[in-house]
Amino acid sequence: MAPPRANRPLLEVRDLRVEFPTRRGTLVAVDGVSFHIDPGEVLGVVGESGAGKSLTGTAIIGLLEPPGRIAAGEILLEGRRIDNLPYEAMRRIRGREIGAVFQDPLTSLNPLYTIGRQLIETVSTHLDLSPAEARERAIRLLQEVGIPGAEHRIDHYPHQFSGGMRQRVVIALALCANPRLIVADEPTTALDVSIQAQIISLLKRLCREHGAAVMLVTHDMGVIAETADRVAVMYAGRIVEIGPVGDVIREARHPYTAGLMGSIPKIGRHEERLAQIDGAMPRLNEIPRGCAFNPRCPQAFERCRQERPRPVAAGRSIVACWLYDGAAPTRATTEMANE
């Protein structure tokens, strides 16, 4: 497992399990997920749609919608457990200590109120400031995230901003109370490439200047490569690989991670066809026995179909794959078994 750290992580997630009870049984959407984020660190969480990335972030900020529930595990913020707090206690933490940035800024902004009213209300909720001081802080935040003419635009409504500018407003909203952790769920997906680059640069700068930790949820490995310090790769509700972003990108260990990296075109290299991962992510009620990736894995062998792999160290990364437990068959044996 990971080597011991001198300082306590800002966020620790231990064996998190998120379930959805249904009439036909219980669906497990997040299954035994564990990771940490240190102060000032950006952890990227990547995977296909349905991997459980967003649900993990939603569970951390306490916004799981019924019937979804945290069925097991612990979430600790600076050593304090927060997954079992009453609603009001968690509401005070959300915004004050944990900020959130969502994919569609219009879901975070009320179209009936000016952005100034929304920012000032959030500041006043979490900080002991007068109305004039709260407005002054709101203007400073808009300036900090790059809104030109913030003194005038603070009185504008969300529809008077472009998509990129609305996302900047949402980031300002997330920063209102100087939170220690920011959960950013696909913050650049709906934006064009040039605006994506600006938002990525903004998140990195704010993380550095405020000392906040960032959990960046995305399906875009390019965004991860540009932004994150470490990356966690999720598949079917489980983390299959986690490690320093450079190591994971250059030398992916898990076959699923290798497939993701192989599907990205390389600048300066001409390829007739990109690699692809055959098949699709399993439905929650059809997750296979053993390693969830085994039906799509070109290196799967019998143990993969029977036993769930445990996380093991592979270089500086941690990988949940039987290929790294020291008892995996050779490639030639695997190929013979698959013939």
Is residue 104 included in any domain, yes or no? yes
Tokens of 164: 């990129």
Nearest-5° Cα angle at 175, 171 to 177: 155
Angle in degrees, 0-180, between the axes of helices 115-126 and 163-174, rounded to the nearest 10:
10
Number of domains in the chain: 1
Q: What is the pLDDT of residue 244?
A: 97
Q: What is the pLDDT of residue 225?
A: 87
Positive or negative torsion for Cα 106, 108, 110, 114: negative
Q: Select the more confidently predicted residue: 272 or 177.
A: 177
How many Å apart are CA 257 and CA 117, to the nearest integer? 44
Tokens of 51: 């991997």
Tokens of 194: 């040039």
Please state the rounded mean pLDDT for residues 96-113: 88
Is residue 135 included in any domain, yes or no? yes
Tell me: pLDDT of 209 over 90.
Answer: no
Is residue 235 included in any domain, yes or no? no
Please state the rounded mean pLDDT for residues 196-211: 80
Structural domain harbouring 125 = 98-176
Is residue 308 included in any domain, yes or no? no
Nearest residue to 33 via CA among 337, 320, 323, 226: 320
Q: What is the pLDDT of residue 120?
A: 96
Tell me: pLDDT of 142 over 70.
Answer: yes
Positive or negative torsion for Cα 309, 313, 318, 324: negative
Is residue 302 included in any domain, yes or no? no
Is residue 246 included in any domain, yes or no? no
How many Å apart are CA 255 and CA 7, to the nearest integer? 32
Tell me: pLDDT of 338 over 70.
Answer: no
pLDDT tier for residue 265 given thresholds of 50, 70 and 90: low
Is residue 123 included in any domain, yes or no? yes
For 296-310, the pLDDT digits (tens) are 999 999 999 999 999
- Mean pLDDT rounded to a whole number for the chain: 88
pLDDT tier for residue 137 given thresholds of 50, 70 and 90: very high
Is residue 169 included in any domain, yes or no? yes
For 15-71, the pLDDT digits (tens) are 999 999 999 899 999 999 999 999 989 999 999 999 999 999 999 999 999 999 999
Q: Picking from 23-37, 141-155, 158-172, 206-220, which range would have the lowest pLDDT averaged per residue? A: 206-220
pLDDT tier for residue 232 given thresholds of 50, 70 and 90: very high
Q: How many residues does the chain have?
A: 339
Tell me which long-range contacts 225-230 makes (C-beta under 8 A, separation of at least 24). 225/249, 226/197, 226/200, 227/42, 227/44, 227/200, 227/203, 228/42, 228/43, 228/44, 229/41, 229/42, 229/43, 230/41, 230/42, 230/43, 230/44
Tell me: pLDDT of 4 over 70.
Answer: no
